[in-house]
């Protein structure tokens, strides 16, 4: 689960409403990954902005980004391994590299884009699901 500050939740809801609940209209205008933070600038595909200051800035800890990459299986593939002692073959996920190292060193530009889009999808899904859960409690 990704921690989202209330102020950011409010801005994300405003964006969701502005795209008429069509999440496919929300795109990553730009991104930046430094040691501790992944920054995404989000915009409406039907209303492109002239500068990043006009976009919605979302900052995530790299640890949360890594969690999404691992959960989506982006840094691994399904393969077979042989058990070292019992000599039987089994299917498993084989990790290519640690999530952030995979993103920076191994992932193609397309795979990097998929990872960023997976983060946006995860955030929006979590936001909507939490709102529905809170409504049921009330």
pLDDT at 128 over 90: no
Q: Are 77 and 56 in contact (CB under 8 A)?
A: no
Rounded to two decimals, the pTM is: 0.83
Q: How many domains does the chain have?
A: 1
- How confident is the model over 23-49, as pLDDT tens digits? 889 999 999 999 899 999 999 988 888
Which of these, 29, 97, 39, 93, lies nearest to 65 by C-alpha position? 39
Asked whether residue 56 is domain-assigned, the answer is yes
SS3 state of residue 48:
coil
- How confident is the model over 50-78, as pLDDT tens digits? 888 889 999 999 999 999 999 999 999 99
What domain range is 10 assigned to? 6-137
Asked whether residue 1 is domain-assigned, the answer is no
Asked whether residue 88 is domain-assigned, the answer is yes
């Amino acid at each position: 689960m990704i921690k989202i500050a209330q102020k950011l939740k409010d801005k994300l809801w405003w964006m969701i409403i502005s795209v008429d609940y069509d999440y496919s209209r929300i795109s990553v205008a730009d991104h930046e990954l430094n040691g501790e933070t992944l920054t995404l600038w989000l915009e409406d595909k039907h209303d492109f902005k002239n500068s990043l200051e006009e976009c919605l800035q979302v900052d995530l800890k790299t640890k949360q980004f890594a969690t999404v990459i691992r959960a989506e299986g982006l840094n691994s593939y399904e393969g077979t391994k042989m058990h070292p002692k019992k000599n039987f073959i089994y299917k498993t996920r084989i990790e290519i590299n640690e999530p952030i190292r995979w993103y920076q060193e191994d992932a193609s530009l397309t795979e990097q884009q998929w990872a960023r889009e997976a983060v946006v999808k995860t955030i929006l899904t979590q936001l909507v699901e939490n709102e529905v859960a809170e409504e049921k409690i009330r």
